[in-house]
Structure 1
Amino acid sequence: MNRASVDPELAALRGELIERAAADQRARAELDPAAPTPEQWETVHLVDEDNVRWFAPIVAVHGWPGRRTVGVDGAHAAWVLAQHAPAPYRACWLPKLRAAVANRDAAPRDLAFLSDRVATDQQRAQRYGTQWLRLGTEAAGRLYPLHRPAEVNLARADVGLAPIPDAEIATAYLSYDEVAAATSGGSR
């Protein structure tokens, strides 16, 4: 992005996106990794709510804030806000991000993460293997169900993501019934 020719309103939008994404990340960094407290989660939720209130009208009126408008860092910051918004917003914004990627105005990697997030929101198998379920103090967690496990690393390579070890792919949840059983603490 050529700073000399940047529209002041777009520069302000870029700056606000970056600051809001930084606040999002700070709130999450303050979560106790062993056992986040309700107060810590409340802080995260307040940041997310504020970001959605600010971001939703921008996307509704102007579309996805892409690289040409807000720079690479601003476009990535927009993805951070979308990734942590409530599920209905993510689903609504996914086609807008997909169109931006098709126009080379957003990162395919960001689209992979949001696509998988929306898939897991809707209890569908994910394509890129970006979404994991970590229960309790479990260090690594397990992948949510995968669409085509044998092809997940090819899909990841297409968007610039590192491969997932075969052993982790092999232990991915097979269904959302299995996820439900794991999260309820028992089997059905």
Structure 2
Amino acid sequence: MVSQVGHRAARAAWLPAQHATSHRAQRVFHEGMADAVEREEASPRDFAYLEDRVRVRSGRPQLYGTQFHDGVGGLEPMPIEDPGLLDERRAAVGLEPFAEYEAFIRKTEGR
């Protein structure tokens, strides 16, 4: 995908999938993007967000800690699989440490 349309257009194609209301459409795009990441034709960082979104919508814990919700104590991350390895997984796909991301999310959301 990147070699055909460039990074900017590839990211633009990812955005509708990330925010799709159809879980089926999101899963189809997820499968295609997984293949593209393996071929280095899509961003592993963008894929991490989609991976978490698909997992959360399926009732599974997220891998990268990108999804938050309003919990009992306020804004909190959705359940995370094996949190001890979270920052290692995040670094592998080019994401900042979780503590930095969480601070950014809280600041952005005004909480």
Equivalent residue pairs, number:
98
Structure 2 match to 1:110? 46
Letter in 1 for 2:45: R
Structure 2 match to 1:184? none
Letter in 2 for 1:150: G
Higher relative contact order (CA 8 A, sep 6+): 2
Give me the TM-score of the superposition, normalised by structure 2: 0.82
Unaligned runs of 5+ in 2: 103-111
* Structure 1 stretches of at least 4 aligned residues deviating more than 4 Å after TM superposition: none
1:70 aligns with 2:22: no
Unaligned runs of 5+ in 1: 1-65, 169-188
Structure 1 match to 2:25? 89
CA distance in 2, matches of 1:142, 1:123: 16
Give me the TM-score of the superposition, normalised by structure 1: 0.50
Which structure has the highest helix share of the two?
1
Identity rate of aligned residues, in percent? 37
SS of corresponding position for 1:105: coil
**1:125 CA drift (Å):** 0.4
SS of corresponding position for 1:142: strand
Letter in 2 for 1:105: E
CA distance in 1, matches of 2:87, 2:2: 26
For residues 169-180 of structure 1, the aligned pairs below 5 Å read none
Structure 2 match to 1:132? 68
Larger Rg: 1
Letter in 1 for 2:18: Q
Letter in 2 for 1:145: P
Structure 2 match to 1:183? none
